[in-house]
């Protein structure tokens, strides 16, 4: 059971990569979601429900993983990057259900990936608040959810300005 939990929180071992495991997890999440939405054609609503389920499982799984660790947000935990990166992509897909050109989709996915990494690394408020004040699974996940919501806010602002 511990091995399954380890594979879950490290996103099948991506978190054990020596350099920038969070960025690799975000990139793989972006590619994975592109395949789900644009190759397999799964509904974004179904994927969003799956991400919500993963969020609740993560609350428990991360607490189990960190209970005996001194570091409460170790770099090998990257399931939070999966959740945070998935938020803007799913909401983009829900908002753009009509047929889109692949080049446009890839451009927005790239922008969402870069923005998410910037917000996740820079940790503007309230991302930093959750990162500093909650030394449990809630804090580990919520800083990435906030970073994902910042990406959504930037894209919504961009779409309002350009329309």
Mean pLDDT in residue range 45-67: 95
In angstroms, the CA 55 to CA 52 distance is 5
- Residue 131's pLDDT is 83
Confidence of residue 39 (pLDDT cuts 50, 70, 90): very high
pLDDT at 81: 97
- Mean pLDDT of the residues in the chain: 93
What DSSP string runs through 59-119?
Answer: HHHHHHHHTT-S-SS-TT--HHHHHHHHHHHHHHHHHT-S---HHHHHHHHHHHHHHHHHH
| pLDDT tens column, 67-105 | 888 777 789 999 999 999 999 999 999 998 877 799 999
pLDDT of residue 53: 98
The answer, yes or no, to whether residue 151 has pLDDT greater than 80, is yes
Please state, in angstroms and rounded to a whole number, the distance separating the CA atoms of residues 47 and 2. 26
Structural domains counted in the chain: 1
Q: CA 25 to CA 14: how far, in whole Å? A: 6
Instruction: Quickly count: other Cβ atoms within 10 Å of residue 7's Cβ.
Output: 14
> What is the tens place of the pLDDT at every residue in 15-38?
999 999 999 999 999 999 999 999
Domain extent at residue 66: 2-162
% of the chain surpassing 90 pLDDT:
79
> Is it the case that residue 48 has pLDDT exceeding 80?
yes
CA atoms in the 13 A half-sphere facing the CB of 140: 29
Tell me, what DSSP letter sits at residue 13? Answer: T
* Angle, CA 140 vertex, CA 139 and CA 142 arms, to 5°: 60
């Amino acid at each position: 059971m511990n091995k399954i939990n380890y594979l879950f929180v490290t996103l099948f071992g991506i978190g054990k990569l020596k350099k920038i495991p969070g960025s690799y997890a975000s990139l793989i999440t972006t590619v994975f979601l592109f395949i789900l939405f644009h190759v397999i054609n799964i509904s974004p609503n179904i994927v969003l429900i799956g991400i919500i389920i993963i969020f609740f499982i993560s609350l428990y799984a991360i607490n189990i993983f960190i209970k005996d660790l001194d570091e409460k947000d170790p770099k090998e935990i990257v399931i939070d990057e999966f959740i945070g990166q998935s938020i803007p992509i799913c909401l983009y897909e829900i908002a753009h259900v009509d047929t889109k050109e692949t080049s446009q989709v890839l451009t927005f996915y790239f922008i969402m990936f870069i923005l998410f990494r910037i917000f996740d690394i820079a940790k503007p408020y309230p991302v930093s608040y959750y990162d500093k004040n909650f030394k449990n699974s809630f804090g580990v996940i919520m800083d990435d959810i906030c970073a994902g919501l910042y990406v959504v806010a930037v894209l919504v602002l961009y779409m309002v300005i350009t329309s």
